[in-house]
Amino acid sequence: MSEKLAIYGGTPAVNVNEVVSWPPVDKSDEKMVLDALYSKVQSRGTHNLKLEEEFSAWNGNKFALFTNSGTAALHMCLVGCGIGAGDHVLVTAYSWSSSATCILHHDAIPIFVDIDPETFLMDPDKIEAAITPRTKAIIVVQLHGLCNDMDKINAIAKKHGLKVIEDACQAHGAMYKGRKAGTLGDCAAFSFNQNKCLSCGEGGMFVTDSQEIFDNAAKLWSFGETSRPEQSRDYHAYALGWMYRNNELTAAYARSQLAKYDFYFKTLRENGEYLLKALQGTPNLLLPYEPEYATHNWYNFNLRLDFAKLGITDPVQQVKLRDAVAAALRDEGIVASVWQRFILPEMTVFAAKNAYGQGYPWSIPGADEGVDYSLEKFPNALEYSRKHISIVQTLRAPNGLDITEKVNQGIRKVFENIDQIDPDRIAAILEERRKKA
């Protein structure tokens, strides 16, 4: 292709007016939310309880608790599994910050593990080397909607007596050998933030099959009490507790969206598979990888620049070119972003080993022994953070293959004309736009 890039004044590949924004809202959502709005109980009532029942049935879990965020659900997982002050918890070096800050929420210490360069997930072959005498659990992040090799991870956990927590915040409907994310460990957390494949604006879900883990997590979820609001409460705090409950309006919206999720998932699968095939052979582009054991939900469809082929080795230049390519894709009408620019050990709270002041929780006697966040330990995560671009939302329902084909054309247009990408020129264009805004 030699067509002029849209960022330089050419015609965009995708007409943004044709793309339905996310999430799609219809009369069924309106009806459900209005029912909650006019209900006598708006804090925790029928819609909360029905949502938990419906989600656990849909996903295949015995227990579920609706929370105000995926981050809250992750904290509940830690507490449900008995993680406490000074304990170590393994987690991937590349993820959203909550995957690791949830560990700090209960005074435990994150131990980072580098990623596999093709799946972008925690490398199972590097887990055992990261286990310390204080390690109590592994948080397996099913990042971008792809499940990790859970048989291998569960075998390691069993060998060392560790709990397995799934961060399934992005993995609604994603599957591992025919089983859904959120059923593959001891407990799991989902997010219903607006960006997620299942959305109600803000919210989350904690799930488990263990009565003990559920009871421990439920205490944290509601003030440290042993009874939930729909039960007979004595209003006595039996443990350290937060207020992680959610409300009826949000639960009603989530119920309506859940009822349509199988259609959403089917559409995402069709669009993602089509795009993966259509982009084969595109120069300068590395495509995402879907192992045989996994079924991706394409929460993020990740592109990577082939810097080896482009001959760019300087990290600063890599980031400048990646950011310019992402901007060029956006001007082609594609929702493209750099999802997470930093690996977790780079973030100040971890690098400084100081979450609550005076170095706590790392200052707990013995807790910091052997804890090393040196960036050179995580080369694959660092490389990935510099080269990836995430395609989000444009592939989601009700947008179909007609829109996906235009996305394909836009990506090819940019990558086949990557010699036209001048990072400094594009940075100047973006700066001029900001001034005029």
| pLDDT tens track for 191-229 | 999 999 999 999 999 999 999 999 999 999 999 999 999
Residue range 27-259 forms a domain whose CATH class is alpha beta
For residues 163 and 147, give the distance between their C-alpha atoms in angstroms, rounded to a whole number.
Answer: 17
Confidence of residue 3 (pLDDT cuts 50, 70, 90): confident
Digit-coded pLDDT (tens) for 225-241: 999 999 989 999 999 89
What is the token pair recorded at 161? 């007596």
What's the whole-model pTM score?
0.96
Which CATH superfamily does the domain covering 6-19+261-340+383-436 fall into? Aspartate Aminotransferase, domain 1 (3.90.1150.10)
Give the mean pLDDT of the chain.
97
Q: Average pLDDT for residues 159-178, to the nearest whole number?
A: 98
Label residue 268 by pLDDT band (50, 70, 90). Answer: very high
Residues of the chain with CATH 3.90.1150.10: 6-19+261-340+383-436
Beta bridge partner(s), residue 167: 141, 189
CB 62 within 8 A of CB 199: no
Is the Cβ–Cβ distance between 320 and 423 less than 8 Å? yes
Residue 259 clears pLDDT 90, i.e. is over it: yes
Starting at the edge strand that comes first in sequence, how are the strands of the sheet with 175-176 ordered?
A: 179-180, 175-176, 294-295
Burial grade of 435 (CB within 10 A; 0-12, 13-18, 19 or more): exposed
Residue 112, SS3 per DSSP: strand
Instruction: State the average pLDDT over residues 176-190.
Output: 98
Joined tokens for residue 70: 């995926």
Q: pLDDT value at position 393?
A: 87
Is residue 2 pLDDT above 60, yes or no? no
For CATH 3.40.640.10, the residue range(s) in the chain are 27-259
pLDDT at 1: 46
Give the residue-averaged pLDDT of 320-334: 98
**Average pLDDT, integer, range 148-171:** 98
pLDDT > 70 fraction of the chain, expressed in percent and rounded = 100
Listed range (8-12, 53-57, 110-114, 228-232) with the worst mean pLDDT: 228-232
Tell me the pLDDT band of 136, cut-offs 50, 70 and 90: very high
Catalytic residue list: 196
